[in-house]
A and B are shown apart, each in its own frame.
Chain A
Amino acid sequence: MGLFTELKDSISRVTDRLFSEQEPKRIGIYGPPNAGKTTLANRIARDWTGDAIGTESHIPHETRRARRKENVEIERNGKTVTIDIVDTPGVTTKVDYEEFTDEMDEDDAIRRSREATEGVAEAMHWLREDVDGVIYVLDSAEDPITQVNTMLIGIIESRDLPVLIFANKIDLDDSSVKRIEDAFPQHKTVPLSAKEGENMDEVYENIAEYFG
């Protein structure tokens, strides 16, 4: 290799490193299926970029591939925070295609379950390798003390990633934010309804504070 090429590569490595420090942090939106992760990702993306990220559905495992929305600029208190939002498939330890057969034919249900399993594996891989912080979304009308939640919060903590817990669906009658606060007292819990857009000011203040 010539001297010039070596020098060029060396400069390129240094500039890559310099600029990588300024790259937006990748914030993964994690949680169990049907917690409202994509609804939240779409709400944030629409509020700050005008575009949506993915399709929302009441059928579990609608999101079966991690999707990234780059350079989402959030302005809070005169400061601008730029993040990449990664909407991830809901994490579970089991997928049964028969769960979907009420909504679609068997072939589609089997295809959906296969894609869902790949999506969960992909979400775990992103968590281990590629996210800088986590928004953990829970349906506040459901019991938060499940094995998946306990394990995922443990995995996030073991990687020392900053994490915010979002108690979603506060518009539902059965919603209990306290149940989530009591389950994970070591983390900040922010109540919201991503669907109705309730309490989004507090959501953005916390995103700016934790991930800015």
Chain B
Amino acid sequence: MPKATNADDSDGVQIDLISGERMDSMATMEKIRMILDGVHDGNIVILEEGLTPDEESRLIETTMAEINPDEFNGIEIETYPKSETRDSSLLGRIMGADESEAKLTVIGPANQIETLHKDETLISALVSRD
């Protein structure tokens, strides 16, 4: 599978939009490695279908292990909050309500991305170069 190439141009911010199809074929740690490698390079990573709760938990854990003073402060991650009308009951889950949980997710270096506004249908973020 081809890798995202890194731009040498230091004047801009690279944005990688990763399709759900590309993520489907990857193991959990491959996904986390891809995200964190991109973020370490200063890129903004946008996942078409986000991560599962278990993958999010491992992303937090791995991010913590890689934080280094003056080099890497961690990540900013944003997805849409859960809809109030979403069916989280056991029956709902059996009926496949969770199938629609895949949500666009934006991840970037904590020192470069700042969330300005977030609600169930809109994420507004400010991205800076450093």
Which of chain B's residues have a CB closer than 8 A to the CB of A175? none
Which of chain B's residues have a CB closer than 8 A to the CB of A117? 64-65, 67, 74
Say if the beta carbon of A172 comes within 8 Å of chain B: no
Q: Which applies to chain A's interface (DSSP): helix, strand, loop or mixed?
A: helix
Taken together as a complex, chains A and B put the C-alpha atoms of A118 and B62 apart, in Å, by 10
- How many residues of chain A get a CB closer than 8 Å to chain B's CBs? 32
Contact between chains at B74 and A147 (CB < 8 Å):
no
Which of chain B's residues have a CB closer than 8 A to the CB of A153? 82
Taken together as a complex, chains A and B put the C-alpha atoms of A128 and B58 apart, in Å, by 9
Name B's A-contacting residues (CB within 8 A): 52-54, 56-58, 60-61, 63-65, 67, 69, 73-79, 81-82, 84, 88, 110-111, 115, 118-119
Provide a sorted-by-A list of 23 A–B residue pairs whose CB atoms are within 8 angstroms: A91-B60, A93-B63, A94-B73, A94-B76, A95-B74, A96-B111, A113-B69, A114-B69, A117-B65, A120-B61, A124-B60, A124-B64, A127-B57, A145-B81, A147-B77, A150-B79, A150-B81, A151-B53, A151-B56, A151-B57, A153-B82, A154-B56, A157-B53
Name A's B-contacting residues (CB within 8 A): 91-97, 110, 113-114, 117-118, 120-121, 124-125, 127-128, 145, 147, 150-151, 153-155, 157-159, 182-183, 185-186
